[in-house]
Amino acid sequence: MDRRSEWFVPSFGPERFRLAVGLLFLPYTGMVLGYVVMGSMLAATLHWDRVAAVVVIYFLALGVGAHALDAVGSRGAKPWGRVFSRAQLWALAAGSLVAAYALGAWYMVLYVPLLWPIAIAEGFFVLAYNLEWFRGRFHSDFWFALSWGALPVLAGYVMQTNALSVAALLVAAAMALLSLVEIKVSRPYKALKRSAAGGAESDAAQIARYEAILKSLSAGVMLLGAGLLAWRLSGG
């Protein structure tokens, strides 16, 4: 499926730039960063360097690393899989993941050892989900919601506290459900776009509805994260 026309791919600039931005899936990456911020803001006491660090970690590991691996695993099904060679995608994934884990390891060794289980689990899902290991067993809606919905919230909270709480677990469950909505809409949306080459009006209308849901969902999550961040910055 050629996704050059996706709503999150810029319509301006050279093709390589456009598809490099598309590779990051910025609205969905933004959702995960929103989850990380939400988890962080639940802590009674904030270490702002850790907020910045965990956001950078997830941007590198998910926004760059996981999506580069997704392009590798897609076998050319996405336009950036053709514009960027497999070697380039592997190098991008490896470099971003090494940088993310190096930064995370510094905090985990010195301050937040409880983050290790989450880091190990997320590392597993980065590979197993995106490369469809184990015959795609972990490439499912449930594992997507857990790995890119619940765990980022917990990572943000644990990064601040080196502990878990009922509140963090409840918010993590809520964000997992929102991620489940996202993937439940995203899959038929992609399938419909793939089959709608003929341009039937009914297909176009349904695609527009799915796209509106995805836009609203991603924007809503990012605004919620930004609102909580603003609240804590203002002394809340």
Q: What is the pLDDT of residues 34-85, one digit of tens each?
A: 999 999 999 999 999 999 999 999 999 999 999 999 988 765 456 666 788 8
Residue 171 corresponds to which amino acid? V
Compute φ and ψ for 127, nearest 5 degrees: -85, -50
| Tokens at 142, concatenated | 């449930």
The least confident of 97-106, 159-168, 196-205 is: 196-205
Q: What is the model's pLDDT at position 75?
A: 54
Q: What is the model's pLDDT at position 197?
A: 57
Average pLDDT over residues 117-131: 95
What is d(CA 185, CA 193) in angstroms, rounded to the nearest whole number?
Answer: 12
Single pTM value for the model: 0.93
Average pLDDT over residues 121-139: 92
pLDDT, one tens digit per residue, over 178-234 is: 999 999 999 998 888 877 654 566 688 888 999 999 999 999 999 999 999 999 999
13: left (phi over 0), alpha (psi -120 to 50) or beta: left
State the DSSP string of 205-217: HHHHHHHHHHHHH
The least confident of 140-144, 145-149, 198-202 is: 198-202
What is d(CA 84, CA 64) in angstroms, rounded to the nearest whole number?
Answer: 13
| Tokens at 177, concatenated | 């459900």
Average pLDDT, rounded, for the chain:
91
What is d(CA 221, CA 136) in angstroms, rounded to the nearest whole number?
Answer: 28
The residue ranking higher by pLDDT, 82 or 153, is 153
Q: What is the model's pLDDT at position 78?
A: 61
Compute φ and ψ for 7, nearest 5 degrees: -65, -20
Q: What is the model's pLDDT at position 74?
A: 61
| Chain centroid to CA 57 | 11
Quick check: helix, strand or coil at residue 44? coil
